[in-house]
Amino acid sequence: MTPPGTTAETPSRQLEPGLRADAGRNRDRILAAARRLYATEGLGVSMASVAREAGVGKATLSRRFATREDLITAVFADRMDAYATATTEALADPDPWHGFTRYIEAVCAMQAADRGFADVLTMTFPAAKALEARRTQSYDGFVELITRTQATGHLRDDFTPEDLVILLMANAGVIAATADDAPDAWRRLVGHILRAYATPGAPLPPMPEAPSHTALYRAMIRLARPAPQTP
């Protein structure tokens, strides 16, 4: 019998702050684990692997992030913000060609710093509305940047936004293949790509050094090994 003025729910109410704190800690552990795994292994990591890395059960992971897209959105929200900011900064540069080249270098560097983000920039996630909204914002800004840069005469007239997608796909592949043995190989790729985008006489940053033959050979050996199976 519950005394007047009280309810049977009082004990559970008293536990709620603790439960909320525990849920918050679990969420933080899941995000930290996902960031580590995505950064080093890419987005192919399974949800089960994330749960193990975080030290939580699959049910706990599912309560915090019902879908893979929900988890990816939460993990990469800050990086997508940085991606959008890079476009804004490029547009603010009084020299559009300089802004363009710096933008290409900055976005490719973001990919190199995080293999998971390298994957995010070459995929679409229709269910991840917030992430896709930031991508659209960046795309629209890049289209404007192209127009401004072509007006300077330094960017080829036949350059299109799709060329950036091709570059990001190529860069993601180079990063995945060489990150362990020649981590700066992507810079050489970007140097060549910028020279392909430029018109004759356009000012260009110095060409990055090529990776050593030994480093590339090690990367090729690693690529030939069977990929580990992720449950």
75-118 pLDDT per residue, tens: 998 888 899 999 999 999 999 999 999 999 999 999 998 888 88
pLDDT score, position 129? 82
CB 54 within 8 A of CB 134: no
- As a whole number, the mean pLDDT across the chain is 87
Nearest CA-CA partner of 75 in 39, 121, 122: 39
Both tokens of 7, joined, read 């309810």
Rounded CA-CA distance 221/198 in Å is 34
Average pLDDT over residues 173-181: 91
pLDDT score at 42: 84
Give residue 55's region: left, alpha or beta (phi > 0; psi -120 to 50): left
Domain 76-224: top CATH class: mainly alpha
Is-same-fold flag (16-66; 76-224)? no
Residue with tokens 């309810």: 7
Kindly report the pTM of this predicted structure.
Answer: 0.78
Domain regions of the chain by residue span: 16-66, 76-224
Q: Is 126 helix (H, G, I), strand (E, B) or coil?
A: coil
As a whole number of angstroms, the distance between CA 139 and CA 88 comes to: 11
Q: What percent of the chain has pLDDT over 70?
A: 89
Which residue shows structure tokens 């199976």?
229
DSSP state at residue 200: T
Question: Quick one: average pLDDT of 169-180?
Answer: 91
* Whether CATH 1.25.40 fits 16-66: no
pLDDT at 14 over 60: no
Q: Quote the pLDDT of residue 8.
A: 41
> What pLDDT score does 123 carry?
84
